[in-house]
Amino acid sequence: MATRIGINGFGRIGRQVLRAIIRYHSIELEVVAINDLADTETNAHLLKYDSNYGRFNGTVEASEDAIIVDGRAIRITAKRDPNEIPWGDFGVDLVIESTGLFTDANKAISHLSGGPSKVIISAPAKNEDITVVFGVNERDYNSAKHHVVSNASCTTNCIAPVMKVLHDSFGVSRALMSTIHAYTNDQRILDTYHKDLRRARTAAMSIIPTTTGAAKAVTQVIPELQGKIHGMAFRVPTSTVSVVDLVADLERPVTVEEVNSVFKTAAVGPLKGVLAFCEEPLVSVDFKENPASSTVDSLSTMVIDGNMIKVITWYDNEWGYSCRVGDLATYMVRKESHLPNDSFIKEVSEELDGQIEPEPMTTYLPSETVERN
C-alpha cells in the first residue's frame, strides 16, 4: 500500500514534485491532499499546462474540493496556518512543505499535529532535524530521531556531490563557486520593492548578482569543508536550468583527465542518477527535465598549475531538485518500514534507463543507497 503524501504549497516546486512522484514513485507514494490558497481550477490548470515542461502526460480535472489526476482525486484545502490543515482527515503520513514560508522547523513541525509523522522541507531550513543531500549524506538519516528534514536547495544538491567526489579523490583546500541561475518567483517582473535591491530589478532584462546559501549548506552535509568554500549567484533571464562554475584548489596536483575520470566513474557507479557526466557540447536547454542533481560538463574542465581546477556542472533547478524530493520521501518511507533501500534504488534506476537523451549522458535515478538557490 502506498504511503499517503500531503503537499503544502502548490507552486513551481510543489507541482513538479507531484509530477515526479507520479512518474517515478507511484508504487510507493500517493499524493492524496494538497493545501494551497489558489482555487482548484487554477491548481488543475497549472498542473495540466506548464510553460517549462509542457502538458501533463495524463488527465487533469477540477472539482469543487479536489483535482482529479488520472482518475484519482487529490483533495484541496486552503489553510494559511499549518495547524489548521486537516492532514489526519486524509490519512496523510508525510508532508512535503513547499510554500517557502515555513522553512523554520519550529513552524514546519506544526504539520505533525494533524497526524503525519514526517515533514520534508523543500528548501534550506532552520532548526531542522537533519539536512539531506542525496548521494552525500542520506545514510545519516535516522527515522527514530529525524522528523523534520530539509532537502537543502537545488544548488546545494548540484554542488555537494561534486565537492564530495573532489574531496574524497584529491582533497579540497578551498573553493569558490558561482551559480548562473535561472530566474525564480522570488524576483520581479518589473522594477519594484525587494529587500535585495538587485532582485528588485526586472528579472528578464539583466544579469543580476545576488547571494546563495549553497556554499554554506555544503558544509552541513560535508562538515570537513567548513570554512573552505564560499560562493555567490548570478540570476539570468532563463526560466529553468542553471549551471555552477566551481574553482577549487586541491591538495595534490591533477590533470584534466584525472578530474574527468573520477566524475565519470562516480556517475556510472556510486552516484549514478544523482551525478551525471556529459561528453558532448551541449547548452542549457539540453538539460531541461534532466532528473540528475548535477551533470558535469567534461569539455569545460580546466586545470592550472596542477592544483587549481575549474569544473562546470549543469542542473535543472526545478525538475532535478523535485526528483530528489521524491527520492527522499521514498527513502524515508523505506526507512520507516525497515525496507531495504538498495532495492528501491535499483527499481527506480531501471525504470528510468534509456529515457533521457542524448547519450552518453548518465541521467538515471540513484542506483544504490547512496531556494531554492
List the catalytic residues: 154
Sign of the Cα torsion 168, 173, 179, 184 reads positive
Q: Which of 176, 168, 200, 174 has its CA nearest to residue 187?
A: 200
Asked if omega into 358 is within 30° of 0 (cis), the reply is: yes
Distance of alpha carbon 45 from alpha carbon 58, whole angstroms: 13
- Residue 358 CA to residue 373 CA, distance in Å, equals 27
Residue 7's SS3 state is strand
Q: Alpha-carbon distance 50 to 57, whole Å?
A: 11
Q: Which residue has the cell 557507479?
A: 269
Rounded distance between C-alpha atoms, residue 290 and residue 323, angstroms:
9
**Residues sharing a CB contact under 8 Å with residue 214, sequence separation 6 or more, in sequence order:** 153, 155, 156, 158, 159, 177, 179, 231, 373
The x, y and z cell numbers of residue 105, run together, are 522547523
Tell me how far apart the alpha carbons of residues 351 and 309 are, in angstroms, rounded to a whole number. Answer: 35
Q: How many CB atoms lie within 10 A of CB 178?
A: 17
